[in-house]
């Protein structure tokens, strides 16, 4: 007797991380191996993608605004979701002074808000740097800064 199981993509990714070798093989045969081994930056292009990756409901801005959340507070919550998804379980260890923590850096240029570069620090957690919004690599910080510049702008201004 054959039975069919419907699995959401985000659930399959979540299950894959801790699955037995046999179950991983079954998931790979169903979704394709590249589905599980692809880069996180290929999967996270929007805030909604990040929410889906974490199996969270995206923020409904009108509801948050009706609860007196400001635009910067809403964007900060979005950036925390995006950062968590892109970091794939990595959490900065603020007690480890040898661990680099990367974050995007922005500037105003001719009145425009633009991604400028990334920067890292080993142990500082400065309020102006958005220390909760850091990444384990320059590559991820650069990607986040470029891909989500509008959300960063909404958070900072």
pLDDT in 10s for each residue of the chain, 157 residues: 888 888 888 788 878 878 899 999 989 998 888 888 889 999 999 999 999 888 899 999 999 999 999 999 999 999 999 999 999 999 999 889 899 999 999 988 777 888 888 888 665 544 444 567 999 999 999 999 999 999 999 999 8
Q: Are residues 132 and 89 in the same domain?
A: yes
Check: pTM over 0.85? Answer yes or no: no
Q: Are residues 55 and 114 in the same domain?
A: yes
- Please state the domain count of the chain: 2
Q: Are residues 83 and 151 in the same domain?
A: yes
For 61, residues 6+ apart whose C-beta sits below 8 A from its C-beta are 74
Rounded-to-integer distance, Cα 125 and Cα 99, Å:
12
């Amino acid at each position: 007797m054959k039975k069919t199981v419907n699995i959401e993509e985000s659930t399959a990714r979540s299950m894959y991380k801790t699955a037995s070798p046999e179950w991983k093989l079954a998931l790979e045969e169903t979704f394709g191996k590249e589905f599980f081994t692809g880069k996180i930056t290929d999967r996270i292009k929007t805030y909604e993608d990040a929410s889906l990756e974490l199996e969270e409901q995206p923020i409904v801005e009108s509801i948050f605004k009706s609860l007196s959340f400001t635009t910067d507070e809403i964007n900060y919550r979005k950036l925390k979701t995006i950062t968590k998804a892109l970091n794939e379980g990595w959490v900065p260890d603020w007690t480890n002074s040898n661990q680099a923590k990367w974050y995007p850096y922005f500037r105003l240029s001719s009145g425009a808000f633009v991604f400028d570069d990334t920067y890292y620090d080993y142990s500082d957690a400065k309020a102006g740097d958005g220390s909760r919004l850091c990444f384990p690599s320059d590559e991820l910080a650069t990607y986040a800064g470029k891909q989500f510049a509008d959300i960063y702008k909404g958070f900072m201004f």
